[in-house]
Chains A and B, each alone.
Chain A
């Protein structure tokens, strides 16, 4: 590990240093505010469990669970990410400049995940408050059992979008191959357009797209709510 004299950034080269050493530094107090990670080489669990407002940039493709459990930090990946990027994020901002593999943002409770390319299957599975913005398309079973938060997709969604969804909001601009159980289209009212506009602003994407082009999907609330008409069935 070395400190770049000009920028005072910590520079960590994963060709020569271990992910464990890197993550320990990111957890330590007094680490430089700005961190640059070189040669990630698809390694797993890079920059997980950060709990301080660092700015971390990763120069290349990362493996599984990058920026998992993130709190407060900004993590920018100059490449694509493997399974479970920003899984269980609590707060902060994770930006994937390439594509993301399966289960991006899984179980996330807060913060914002921006993906510039496509995300594959199960994007936002069991999301619990995280906001996810995907400039490309998402694969099948996205937002499966989603509980809270927003999933915004500029492109298309695969099969069974929002299957068994609870209260998350889904905004898709392109086509939806099929909706999952208990997921329905809902009217896009002004308040939803405003909320979407505000979210895209936080993602640094305002002015790129007209929010009225999106359609809104959410829970029909028939699967998880107790329905009094069915009382006799129990």
Chain B
């Protein structure tokens, strides 16, 4: 199974309630994915020239302040750590690529959950309720967010195996389904220099998108490439710096519903996750067609 939720706010007045509404959506999807839960929020942009990284350590006593001091020595100004449960958010006065590279070399024990200017990814094992409580998700503001509840089918249940997966700066992927050619594709992508942390199939799809866009494809082109290069079942939702995109495989075994009104655009695995949003009953609601890329950027629908 697995559950997906995406919410894009057109109304600025709703931005302070983004976390509240995404939490409501995730709780509705609890029984589609009780193994782990995660969310990606687009919020609180880093100042121009700076970047934001979210880091995870499985050591509860990790010396985040020590890391902040070292980051300060390497890059100058550092804001953080802003702690959310096991995750630490840092804003660093440097390019995100440089910061990620530095972290990979100096602190290989850490996992970079997300990197970019606005994205913040939080995820862990267990029900969405637990994620919402421990990470205070309800209080997060922002312009848009994606969420996921996982029912594991092909790899272990850990924080690293949870969704969303980062697919590059300010990009992330959530997935409902399973891929059958991920092993071979992972080998190919490794040769192209894409790094993988787990044996998870969705991470390969995320790596595939990263690779295609690194080679010059637009997000839409990279998603269309999935139709040819990925074998398996999927409904994907991809978060971008200014919106989100949705793709279902051509057979469309995995569900998806979309809805839109004057205040928001939402997608979810099931309507019940949309039903908790204000005005859902009267929103235009439809099922995205298989094999077609839908994307929203800054309140404009490009289908």
Interface set of A (CB-CB < 8 Å, partner B): 41-44, 60-61, 63-64, 79-80, 82-83, 98-99, 101-102, 120-121, 139-140
Interface residue count for B (Cβ, 8 Å)?
A: 17
Return chain B residues, CB-CB under 8 Å to A79. Answer: 281
Say yes or no: A61 contacts B255, CB within 8 Å: no
Across the A-B interface, how many residue pairs have beta carbons closer than 8 Å?
Answer: 46
Say yes or no: B252 contacts A61, CB within 8 Å: no
Docked pose: A98 CA to B285 CA in angstroms: 9
Known contacts A42-B270, A42-B274, A121-B252: A99-B281 contact under CB 8 Å: no
Interface set of B (CB-CB < 8 Å, partner A): 28, 252, 255, 257, 270-276, 281, 285-287, 289-290
Say yes or no: A99 contacts B287, CB within 8 Å: yes
Docked pose: A78 CA to B140 CA in angstroms: 35
Return chain A residues, CB-CB under 8 Å to B255. Answer: 82-83, 101-102
Docked pose: A10 CA to B287 CA in angstroms: 32
Return chain A residues, CB-CB under 8 Å to B252. Answer: 102, 120-121, 139-140
* 4 shortest interchain CB distances as A-B pairs: A42-B272, A42-B271, A41-B275, A42-B275
Say yes or no: A61 contacts B285, CB within 8 Å: yes
Q: List 23 contacting pairs A-B, 8 Å CB cutoff, sorted by A.
A: A41-B276, A42-B28, A42-B270, A42-B271, A42-B272, A42-B274, A43-B272, A60-B281, A61-B275, A61-B281, A61-B285, A63-B271, A79-B281, A83-B255, A98-B285, A99-B285, A99-B287, A101-B255, A102-B252, A102-B255, A120-B252, A139-B290, A140-B290
Nearest CB in chain B: distance from A122 CB, A: 9
Return chain A residues, CB-CB under 8 Å to B274. Answer: 42
Known contacts A83-B255, A102-B252: A121-B290 contact under CB 8 Å: yes
Return chain A residues, CB-CB under 8 Å to B273. Answer: 42
Return chain B residues, CB-CB under 8 Å to A139. Answer: 252, 289-290
Closest residue on chain B to residue A117 by CB atoms: B286
Docked pose: A117 CA to B281 CA in angstroms: 16
Closest residue on chain A to residue B253 by CB atoms: A102
Docked pose: A43 CA to B272 CA in angstroms: 6
Return chain B residues, CB-CB under 8 Å to A80. Answer: 271, 285
Most chain-B CB neighbours within 10 Å: which of A43, A44, A61, A101?
A61
Nearest CB in chain B: distance from A203 CB, A: 23
Closest residue on chain B to residue A79 by CB atoms: B281
Docked pose: A98 CA to B283 CA in angstroms: 12
List 17 extra interface pairs beyond A83-B255, A121-B290, A139-B252, CB under 8 A: A41-B272, A41-B275, A41-B276, A42-B273, A43-B272, A60-B281, A63-B270, A63-B272, A82-B270, A82-B271, A98-B285, A99-B285, A99-B286, A99-B287, A101-B257, A120-B287, A139-B289
Docked pose: A44 CA to B272 CA in angstroms: 9
Docked pose: A98 CA to B252 CA in angstroms: 21
Return chain A residues, CB-CB under 8 Å to B275. Answer: 41-42, 61
Return chain A residues, CB-CB under 8 Å to B289. Answer: 139
Return chain B residues, CB-CB under 8 Å to A61. Answer: 271, 275, 281, 285
Docked pose: A174 CA to B276 CA in angstroms: 36
Closest residue on chain B to residue A41 by CB atoms: B275
Docked pose: A194 CA to B209 CA in angstroms: 54
Return chain B residues, CB-CB under 8 Å to A41. Answer: 272, 275-276
Nearest CB in chain B: distance from A173 CB, A: 20
Docked pose: A64 CA to B286 CA in angstroms: 15
Return chain A residues, CB-CB under 8 Å to B290. Answer: 121, 139-140
Closest residue on chain B to residue A120 by CB atoms: B287
Docked pose: A76 CA to B103 CA in angstroms: 59
Docked pose: A83 CA to B256 CA in angstroms: 11
